[in-house]
Amino acid sequence: MSVGVEQTEVPARPLTLLSEEEQMFQAAVRRFAREQIAPHSRSMDEAGVFRSDLLRQFFDLGLMAVEIPESYGGQGGTFFQSVLAVEEIAAVDPAAAVIVDVQNTLVINAVMRWATQDQKRRYLPRLASGTVGAYALSEAGSGSDAFALQTRAVRDGSGWLLSGRKLWITNAAEAGLFLLFANADPAAGYKGITCFVIERDSPGFRVGKKEDKLGIRASSTCELILDDCPVAAENLLGEAGQGYKVAIETLNEGRIGIGAQMIGLAKGALEHALAYARQRKQFGKAIAEFQGVQFDLADMAVEIEAARLLVYNAARLRQAALPFIAEAAMAKYFASQIAETVASKAVEIFGGVGFTKDYPVEKLYRDAKIGRIYEGTSNMQRHLIARHLLRNPA
C-alpha cells in the first residue's frame, strides 16, 4: 500500500471500552485487513474494481453477515462488532470498508427488522453465504430530500410494476439483491413510499452506468434502471407505505457505520504519518523531532480519539436499544470532519511525496471527502442535531 514506509500500528483505543471477545474480533479483522486487503488497495483504486477473491474472503470470514443469526448461516454477532469491522478495514482501505458497512448496517439490518419469517428464510442465508446486497434509495432529484422519489410502483394484479431510475447505489455492480424504494401512492407523498426486495435477474431491471469517482473507487456506485419491473407481493419489505420508516430507521443506524469508516480512515492516515515522520530526515534529524510536526501528530490523535468515543457511544446506545439518533448524527458529522482534516494533515507531513500516488495518504485524502456527503450530508446532520436539541433542551 505504500512505497518505502512501513505503516506504524496505532492501537485502537480505549481498549477498556471493549470486551475480551470484542478485542479478539477486532484483532482478527485488523490482521486480515493488513495482510490481505492492504497489498491490493492501490491497484483496486486504480482499476476502480474490488477483487472478487477478497469479496469471497469477506463472506468466508463472516464479515458480510456479522449480525445474521447462526441459524441462518451468519455469525450471530453484534452491531458493535460490525462497527469494529468497518473501522479496522477502513484503516487500510475505506472502499473495502463501505462494502462491509452497507451489507451489515443497511441491507441486513433492514431485513432483520422488517422482513417476514418467510423472507428471512429466503434472504438471510443468501446474504450470509455469497450474495451482496445493495440499498437503493437515492435518485437524481432526491438526495438530501430523500423522499422526493420519482420511481413509481403500480399495482399489477396481486403484485407490482416498478419504473424509474436510481442513482449512486453502493455495491450495485456486485449485488444480487436490492432493497429498492419506490412510491406506490404519490398523492400520499412520503407516506406512499414502499420498500421492495428485487433480484438482480428480474425482468425489466438492470444495473446501468458505473460512476467514475474521486475516492473509494474500488467500491462500485451505479445507476439502476427499472422499466415495468414486476415484483411479487411477497417481495414487499414491510407494508405498503412503510418505506419511509424502513429508510429512516435504517439510515439512522447506517450513519454509525459511516462514522466507523471515517475514524478507521483517519487512524490509517495517522499511522502512515507517524511512520514517515520517524523515517524522513531534514536538517540532519527525523522530522518527528520537530515540535511543529509533533503538534500536528498530537492534534490528529486527539481528534481521532474524540471521534471514536462518539462512534462507540452511538453504537453502544443502539445495541442497548436506547435512544441514539442524535448521537449517531453527531458521530457521523464529527468523524467525517476529522477524517478529512487528519488525512489532509497526513499529506502535509509527507510533503511533496504525499501529493503523489506513490504513497497511501493521497488515496486516503480522496477517500475522506465522501464521508461528509453520503448517508446524510454534514448539513443534514447538523439540522438533525439542532432539531433534537430544540425538542430536548435538557
pLDDT tens, 73-100?
999 999 999 999 999 999 999 999 999 9
**Which ranges in the chain are annotated with CATH 2.40.110.10?**
134-243
Residue 181: partners with Cβ closer than 8 Å, 6 or more residues away: 136, 137, 149, 151, 193, 194, 195, 196, 243, 246, 247
Q: Is 376 left (phi over 0), alpha (psi -120 to 50) or beta?
A: left
pTM given for the model: 0.94
CATH number for the region 245-391 comes to 1.20.140.10
Whether pLDDT at 394 is above 80:
no
CB 23 within 8 A of CB 31: no
pLDDT score, position 11: 54
**Measured distance CA(282)–CA(166) in Å, rounded:** 52
CATH of 134-243, one of 1.10.420.10, 3.40.50.720, 2.40.110.10, 2.70.70.10: 2.40.110.10
Rounded to whole angstroms, how far apart are CA atoms 208 and 221?
10
Contact assessment for residue 134 and residue 179, using Cβ atoms and an 8 Å cutoff:
yes
Q: Quick one: cell of 375?
A: 448517508
Name the CATH superfamily, with its identifier, for domain 15-132. Acyl-CoA dehydrogenase/oxidase, N-terminal domain (1.10.540.10)
Is a pLDDT exceeding 70 seen at residue 369? Answer: yes
Please determine, for residue 1, whether its predicted confidence score (pLDDT) is greater than 60: no
φ/ψ region of 233 (left if φ > 0, alpha if ψ in -120 to 50, else beta) reads: alpha
Average pLDDT value for the chain:
95
14 preceded by cis ω (within 30°)? yes
Q: How many helices and strands in the chain, by DSSP H and E?
A: 12, 10
365: exposed, middle or buried (C-beta count within 10 Å: 0-12, 13-18, 19+)? Answer: buried
pLDDT band at 143 (very low <50, low <70, confident <90, very high): confident
Sign of CA dihedral 244, 202, 235, 178: negative
Q: What digits encode the pLDDT tens for the residues 244-276?
A: 999 999 999 999 999 999 999 999 999 999 999
Catalytic residue positions, numbered: 375
CATH 1.10.540.10 in the chain is located at 15-132
